[in-house]
Structure 1
Amino acid sequence: MFFIKRIILFLSIVLIVASCVSNKKIAYLQNDIINQEAVSNIYNTVFKPDDLLQISVISDDVEASIPFNLPTVSVSTNTANVIGQPQQIPYLVDSKGEIDFPVLGSIKVAGKTREEVIQFLKNKLSPKYLKNSTINIRITNFKVNVLGDVARPGAYTIPNERVTIFDALSLAGDLNISGRRDNVLITREEDGLKKEYRVDLRSKNLYTSPVFYLQQNDNIYVEHNYARIQSASSNSNTSLFISITGLLITIVSLITR
């Protein structure tokens, strides 16, 4: 009887320990010391095929600038008080990484940063067509995909191109308690190739990662932890077995009193 009691006590302790989740497994940025010299707040948006670019050109001569701006159209909104909102037609970056720009024709933009494209356009327009030109470029379909063990997985379109991995996870409602913080996967297209990065959200070294600042169409995947996977793979027979085992332990404990 004493041996049976010891087994019951041992099983009870195991169940209690298994039900506890260590804070070390879920707290963000708890490990490592930040290397401030390796941290950079500089981020560069690199244009890619399928980007929609809104490019506006202005100069001292308003009339001369008109041919270099696509027409503005009225688009519907979800706001009850607004029927339509003026918006400039965007340029589509084609599969070759080019846009068809007025007067200048096809321009290669894929693989270039915003600053590089702006400087290129200024060099082409000034002084032959425009003087003292100002050019603004923004991506209108900047989005990231957040998948896996998060509260609200999905695709998120973001108006601000300066987006960190924490911004994206916040939009998705943060990780569930069963999501792995130590092995988050980010996939990105670079130079026509798919690249994978693994990051640990618990480490301050995340600040120095090349994927801390996201790029358009990045995919973030949060893996389920072992307990969640085991729970998903269990079936009704497993649940029945656990119930019977619990009942037997209860009966034995009553008999041995």
Structure 2
Amino acid sequence: MEFPVLGTLHIAGMTRIELTTMLKEKISIYAKDPIINIRLINFTVTVIGEVSSPGTFTIQSERISLPEALGMANDLTIYGQRENVLLIREVEGKKKFAKIDLTSVNAVSSPIYYLQQNDVIVVEPNNARIRSSNYNPNNAIIISALTALTTIVAIFLIR
């Protein structure tokens, strides 16, 4: 970050609180009781899996809850597993995984209820979707073609 009076500041890896404290210290030399307001302008979360519109969403405010992010993805499909939503969060360079039950009253008090920058929400499919994935939708066409072929062969053999 470049400031006219302060020069170049290296802020990579700092939290907003750490950055605010550092800027207050540096600016207080030039101004009495400076008010520092830091905003994230590229706050994004990704929602994938059994939702109607999966994708990466840019958030205009700096605070978003898990249900709000799922709402941006147009909610879970009927196949989404509401009792087992996975959140992937990077903390100090390491991936952390947490599960949350959206049907539980305790979900609101969960530490992952409010999302952080670059969080990934994965909505897992329920058992009905998993079972249906084993079914090939082309099976009906194949069976119809075989039935038609068998009928044609039978007609020619009877003559």
TM range (shorter): 0.7 to 0.9
* Aligned ranges 1:209-248 → 2 under 5 Å: 209-235=110-136, 236-237=138-139
Give the root-mean-square deviation of aligned CA atoms: 2.3
Alpha carbons of 1:120 and 1:209: their partners in 2 closer, same or farther (altered >3 Å)? same
| Match 1:123 to one of 11, 25, 29 | 25
Q: Which residue of 2 aligns with 1:149?
A: 50
TM-score in terms of structure 1 length: 0.51
Deviation at 1:108, TM superposition (A): 4.2
Per-residue CA deviations over 1:9-54 (Å, capped at 9, x if unaligned) read xxxxxxxxxxxxxxxxxxxxxxxxxxxxxxxxxxxxxxxxxxxx8x
CA contact (8 A) 1:184 1:221 kept: yes
Alpha carbons of 1:239 and 1:149: their partners in 2 closer, same or farther (altered >3 Å)? farther
Per-residue CA deviations over 1:78-125 (Å, capped at 9, x if unaligned) read xxxxxxxxxxxxxxxxxxxxxxxx42x34345252x233212211122
Q: Which residue of 1 aligns with 2:4?
A: 67
Look up the equivalent residue of 2:10 and give its one-letter code.
I
Determine the C-alpha separation between the residues in 2 that align with 1:177 and 1:159. 28
Q: Which residue of 1 aligns with 2:79?
A: 178
Is there any run of 5+ residues in structure 1 with no aligned partner, and where? Answer: 1-52, 56-65, 69-101, 242-257
Identity, % of aligned pairs?
44
TM-score in terms of structure 2 length: 0.79
Is there any run of 5+ residues in structure 2 with no aligned partner, and where? Answer: 144-159
Determine the C-alpha separation between the residues in 1 that align with 2:66 and 2:141. 38
Look up the equivalent residue of 1:67 and give its one-letter code.
P
Deviation at 1:238, TM superposition (A): 7.2
Count of residue pairs the alignment pairs up: 142
Look up the equivalent residue of 1:107 and give its one-letter code.
H
CA contact (8 A) 1:109 1:117 kept: no
Q: For 1:139, what is the secondary structure of its paired residue?
A: coil
Alpha carbons of 1:137 and 1:119: their partners in 2 closer, same or farther (altered >3 Å)? same
Alpha carbons of 1:117 and 1:222: their partners in 2 closer, same or farther (altered >3 Å)? same
